[in-house]
Amino acid sequence: MLAGVPALAPAARLEELPLPAGGGTAGVSSIAADGTVVGTLWPVGEVLRWRPGQAPENLGGDTFTLENVIPLISADGATIVASYYFWTPGSDVPEAAPAIWDGSQWQRMPGIVLGDTTPFGIADDGSALAGAAYPAEPPPPGGFVSLQPWTWTAQTGQVVLDLPVGQGTGQAWAVSSGATRAAGFTIAATGATRHGVRWEGTAAHPILDGDGAPVGQAIACNSDCSVIVGAGVEGSDGSPQAWRWTAATGITYLGTVAGALPEATYYAFDTDAAGTMIVGSYYTIDPMFGASNRGFVWTAAEGIVDVVDFLAARGIDYGSGFGDLVVNAMTRDGGKLLLNGMDGDFQRRRAVVHLDGEAIFADGFEP
């Protein structure tokens, strides 16, 4: 039996996601409730979709992606969104705007009122998006460029969100159904540190811990944004721990992984519906690979553990020799975790961990 691991652990199955025929490599970013995954084919930047039990599909696209974040898929699997480059006849510079997959091609998202626009979050039901954009009119040469947080629905179009007093720029990374709530971060006009913010409608509310200190950027929320999770503060002016916020409990810091660097910054990437299971990554120095990311799983019952140990407790040997491995998404029921990483041979790897809830002994034998 593994030391420090409960005698009983939920059964688990790991499903590695293959590459499409034709070469290239791929990363993954988002997972739907049924296990459908979206990611990016490198080096061409095209969107891939893995449906359960099927070969990956290339959805094409002239897309801009953000590792572990974009493209996006709604929890119901019906909506896929990417940040797309659109070319205007006569212009040598493409325009960035969200694009929605309509089942056969990418369609530019209507209702954009700002400049170059990037989506970072999608509502579980696909009804709303959130992100950041440049102003509709660029500043004068040498002027400060302020990214503006926004939400979008088909009914409202793109809606600019407020910045707290003293904040110069911001991004929205998570959004509720109907865009009634959102979460993300802002940066002071004279600073560079990302501090967590939540929005009720368009009104901004800085996210503070029990001592009144700001936390790091908000990254994800549940379907109504009643649970928000995010990253530690990068730098020396706050806690480096990942956190969970609810209206009832305020901020709960998730703790640190045993043996991790004391100064490591933690990033909570996703949460289940109730905020009782949270996944993410933390920074470390690998003796072979140097600076790298390691995944974590936090549960209300057992606290925070490295994802390799979490899997080992469930009979899965995966990730121990990797140079990079994060848990960048999960399903709201906590039944599926999405892994994105690079193995010891510098090859990109992708997998879904299926947690089926059946109890087995930690040594792999049934009771």
Separation of first and last alpha carbons in the chain = 13
pLDDT of res. 63: 67
Q: How many CB atoms lie within 10 A of CB 213?
A: 13
Structure-block tokens of residue 112: 């954009």
DSSP letter string, 35-48: S-EEEEEETTTEEE
pLDDT of res. 54: 92
pLDDT of res. 3: 39
pTM greater than the 0.85 cutoff: yes
Q: Mean pLDDT in each 10-residue stretch from start to end of the chain (367 residues)?
A: 46 92 90 97 92 93 76 96 87 88 93 94 98 85 81 98 93 98 94 94 97 97 98 88 96 96 95 98 83 94 97 95 94 97 92 72 34
How many angstroms separate the Cα of 131 from the Cα of each of 59, 172, 241? 22, 5, 24
Measured at the CA of 347, the angle between CA 312 and CA 286, to 5 degrees, comes to 60
Residues facing residue 101 across a β-bridge: 106
Taken in order of first residue, the domains within the chain and their CATH numbers are 8-22+121-361 (2.120.10)
Residues facing residue 106 across a β-bridge: 101
Buried b (16+ CB within 10 A) or exposed e, 147-163: bbbbbbbeeeebbebbb
Buried b (16+ CB within 10 A) or exposed e, 58-94: bbebebbbeebbbbbbbbebebbbbbbbeeeeeeeee
